[in-house]
Structure 1
């Protein structure tokens, strides 16, 4: 169970809505990309030390992973060109889903790092 879901455990309805939202966002993307995004964000936060082997990835996926790595701490420095490369790779709906998945991965990492379930009394 994710740290955010664990923190929401005292409110089953809210926990279910969060999980549904997260699952639908992830479901709009290729599961392999979702896994890579989560790994990239976790690595940025120091939670996952395993580097991503990008040698077999296509250019669009590499651009998306580079974007995901910048979201947690450098989001204001992401250029229009970098965003356009991800949009070109995923399409506009895919870019929106990718942005949500990346933001939620960041939130999940931050929640785990501060023990949000413990703070919430879950």
Structure 2
């Protein structure tokens, strides 16, 4: 993504800081699981391996095509696992992973991570 934003170093820096903050809030293991889960929904890779809490992986998978159907109960289950800041970070990480998968699928590798 940073390469795609190379024409705007300020925007690239802000994007990277935003992404990195969300990744730091979840930690590298959960981020990797979420990214694998989202890629799996897109048919890109093996999907999640099961080390992250089930509620987290379920939420991440639903963010791809069913984000408006996520229930309060599902969000509460994630909040119970990660806290409210974690729920927000998970939403960001899943959304960015989804966008990067979609960019890769349509041949825009500079927009993929």
TM range (shorter): 0.7 to 0.9
* 1:106 counterpart (82, 85, 98): 98
Partner of 2:107: 115
Distance 1:87 1:114, change over 3 A: same
Give yes or no for the alignment of 1:88 onto 2:97: no
- Equivalent of 2:41, from 31, 41, 44? 44
Change (3 A) 1:115 1:51: closer
Shift of 1:98: 1.1
Question: How far, CA to CA, are the matches of 1:111 and 1:16 in structure 2?
Answer: 20
Aligned residues of 1:6 and 1:117 also touching (Cα < 8 A): no
Q: Distance in 2 between matches of 1:17 and 1:111?
A: 20
For 1:19, the equivalent position in structure 2 comes to 16
Give the unaligned 5+ runs of structure 2: none
> Does structure 1 retain, via aligned residues, the 8 Å contact 2:48–2:57?
no
The structure with higher relative contact order (CA 8 Å, sep 6+) is 1
Ranges in structure 1 where 5+ consecutive residues have no aligned partner = none
Number of residue pairs aligned between Structure 1 and Structure 2: 111
Structure label with greater radius of gyration: 1
Range 4-13 or range 31-40, more displaced? 4-13
1:22 is displaced (CA, Å) by 0.4
Deviations 1:76-102 (A, max 9, x none): 221111111001110111111111111
